Structure 1
Amino acid sequence: MTASTSRRFANIDRWGPVSQLLHWTIVVLILVMAYLGLTMTDMHNGPDKIRIYNLHKSIGLTILALVTLRVLWRAWAGAPRPLQGPLWQRRAASTTHVGLYALLFAVPISGWIMNSAAGFPLRWFGLVRVPALTARDHAMHELFETTHEVLFWTLIVVALGHAAIAIWHHLFARDATLARMLPNGWLRVPDPTHEEPRDVR
């Protein structure tokens, strides 16, 4: 596949609607997962706790599938050209994106391994049986329980930093970093060469 073919559906200046939909769907699901993950362990044992745990696992598998689709779509449709800026900023942005993708794969996979090592059956939203990735192993379960938690908090820190930098770019660098991941017209791109008129009355 040539570079020109891979960019047939990529807008040269902004992310396309498919990329935007996948991006924001994953963001919303991560927020839901964070809420469930931080509250479900304190629930009393019973049917409600089992239901929430199963929901947590199913959403995690959904995120894994969507991130896979996101990577495949980006490889096929391409990405917008980098915005103007210092080389170190572009390299930092590229490194952050790679780190985010790695964590978005690692967090659900570590949870999947943890569940497999615990010997619990796994069904995606109660509909599809998901195969175990490993045999039942208590030591492995303990290891991946810790690994899953560390990876989750690392993801939260990196994602919050990513969001903060995007907001900084919009408010202070006054470029389209944030706006081009939103539908066209939803966010006005500041003009760095134009100062807002001030009320001098």
Structure 2
Amino acid sequence: DQYDRDLYIQTFFAGLGGTDGSDDWYGFLPYSIDDQFKLHGRYTIEKWNDVYVTGFFNWASGYHYNRRGFQNLYGDYLTFSNNPWFDGAVTPVDGQDFTEEDGLARGIISGSSFWSLDLTIGKVFSLGKGMDLELRGAFFNVLNDQTPLTRQDKAVASFDTPLARQFPRSGTVFVRLSF
């Protein structure tokens, strides 16, 4: 009876930091980044009757992630692959043997760095009597960088394949009447 209770508790915590310590529980948080750089600027072109141009550049190091194993009790991919687990706690995947020897702790894998450049051009027209009309065009991800942002992190055959990429190049038109 005591054995069954202990086994249930061990299975309950299997791969989630364990009952004997917190090995691999600490580490980089999944989808956190180490470094980020942002640059924003605006320039008014007086020769073009005060047309303005703005730019926004964003660069970030890749997101951290780790391979997550399946935890039967919770029915989801919650475990860290380097944690010791107990019989019946982790479901194997055909063709891939993810075990504690794989050495993948929390957040140990880093994805590719990514960046984007957004530009805006616009002009404000004075209509008189305190009324202004602003016309603006905004262009996002101007150079169309499509770096993968997230990857499959579950211990399945498609592990590490891209799940989401940066949004492709796009644009918007903006009109505002102020009075």
Larger Rg: 2
Higher relative strand content? 2
> Normalising by structure 2, what TM-score?
0.25
Q: Which structure carries more helix by proportion?
A: 1
